[in-house]
Amino acid sequence: MEKQLLALLTVTLLTSAAYFMNGKDGSLTLEGQFSSWKQQHGKRYSDFEEVHRFSVFAQNLAVVMEHNSKFELGQETFTLGMNQFADLTPEEFQASYLTLKPQAQERQNVKSFSGLRFPDTVDWKEGLTVKNQGNCGSCWAFSAAAALEAALHHQKKEKVNISEQEFVDCTTAKLGYESEGCNGGWMDDAFDYTVNYGVATEEEYPYKGVDQACKTGLKKKYYIDSFVDVEPLSSDALHEAIAKTPVSVAIKADGIMFQLYSGGIYSRTCSAKKIDDLNHGVLAVGYAKDSYTIKNSWGAGWGEKGYMRLAIIAAKEGQCGIHWVPSYPVF
């Protein structure tokens, strides 16, 4: 009841104040903003759901405005925006998009920090493509595919779109893996599958965003020799790995701040004290003195054109647990 009253109060206050997403035109009401946002993101609802989504939108807009006002005052290091997830509660968002399934078994071929000096900054974004996993919980497949694509591009000089759908459909219990397609999975499963079976291109095995039967008889497959699990809980080991190649990492990505992130260095408390706290797979594509750069799979409309900067902090697990389970493919 308290939540409903709060939602009603938020809608009333915002409507009477006639706030804007861009703050440029004082004539646009909250209802007008919601209508414009729905059109921009292709959203349609039933009459019943419309009421709920409008209420959630209003609450999220209030959060965005308050946070960004603090950013303008220098009290925050990142901004929020009314992106494609602005009609979801944090609980709804987590249930749909944060489905990584970390595996507890002992990691193989662990690469420890060598002690050698690594560059002060690294940026592998050039030539990479930001993709969108849609409503399928396939972040793990996109993280692994992105690592393969990046390695092929930067090491082999090949521009290839790897099939995330093949990982979703084929890296399953039938072949001895623990990943569950759109219900979540694990990047190392996808890498191991690529070692043993190879993976096709997205053109030959296109992404559908649903669980399907595993296709066979594909014409061309890309194989890797092995994959490396980076030493866990080590900032130096992760830096050294990223200096060689983009690295698949698992993070804890829940919360409204992560959901509506639009730019800057994400420095909010985001702790992952154990592997089970991790719920999202992404690709670490670089670092600077104060942050890691990660490539997400929620489309170019989220974050900094699909990317995010995660603050580098002193905690051994790293911001949002980024130091826990990094891994990368080896050609």
The pLDDT, as a whole number, for residue 117 is: 92
φ, ψ of residue 133 in degrees (nearest 5) = -75, -15
Q: Which of 182, 239, 296, 320 is catalytic?
A: 296
Q: Is 270 a catalytic residue?
A: no
301 in Cβ contact with 262 (< 8 Å)? no
Assign 309 to helix, strand or coil: strand
Tens digit of pLDDT for each residue in 67-85? 999 999 999 999 999 999 9
Q: pTM of the predicted model, to two decimals?
A: 0.90
Longest dimension (CA), the chain: 62
In the 8-state DSSP scheme, what is residue 157? -
Superfamily (CATH) of domain 97-330: Cysteine proteinases (3.90.70.10)
The pLDDT, as a whole number, for residue 20 is: 39
Q: Which of 153, 239, 280, 323 is catalytic?
A: 280
Q: Which of 60, 67, 136, 139 is catalytic?
A: 139
Q: How many whole angstroms separate alpha carbon 330 and alpha carbon 28?
A: 53
187-197 helix and 139-151 helix, angle to the nearest 10 degrees: 50
Q: How many whole angstroms separate alpha carbon 14 and alpha carbon 93?
A: 23
Q: Can you give the residue ranges of every domain in the chain?
A: 2-76, 97-330
Tens digit of pLDDT for each residue in 6-30? 444 444 444 434 343 444 444 479 9
The pLDDT, as a whole number, for residue 109 is: 77
Strands (E), 110-238: 110-111, 122-123, 226-230
Q: Is 139 a catalytic residue?
A: yes
What are the 10-residue block averages of pLDDT along the chain, 331 residues in total?
Answer: 44 40 58 96 95 97 98 98 97 93 73 92 96 96 98 94 98 95 96 97 97 95 96 96 97 96 96 94 98 98 98 96 96 90
In the 8-state DSSP scheme, what is residue 275? G
Q: How many whole angstroms separate alpha carbon 84 and alpha carbon 253?
A: 16
Return the closest-CA partner of residue 90 out of 250, 252, 209: 252
The pLDDT, as a whole number, for residue 41 is: 95
187 in Cβ contact with 250 (< 8 Å)? yes
Q: How many whole angstroms separate alpha carbon 146 and alpha carbon 164?
A: 9
The pLDDT, as a whole number, for residue 25 is: 46
Per-residue DSSP letters for 95-141? Answer: HHH-------SPPSSEE--------S-EE--TT----B-TTSB-HHH
Q: Is 109 a catalytic residue?
A: no
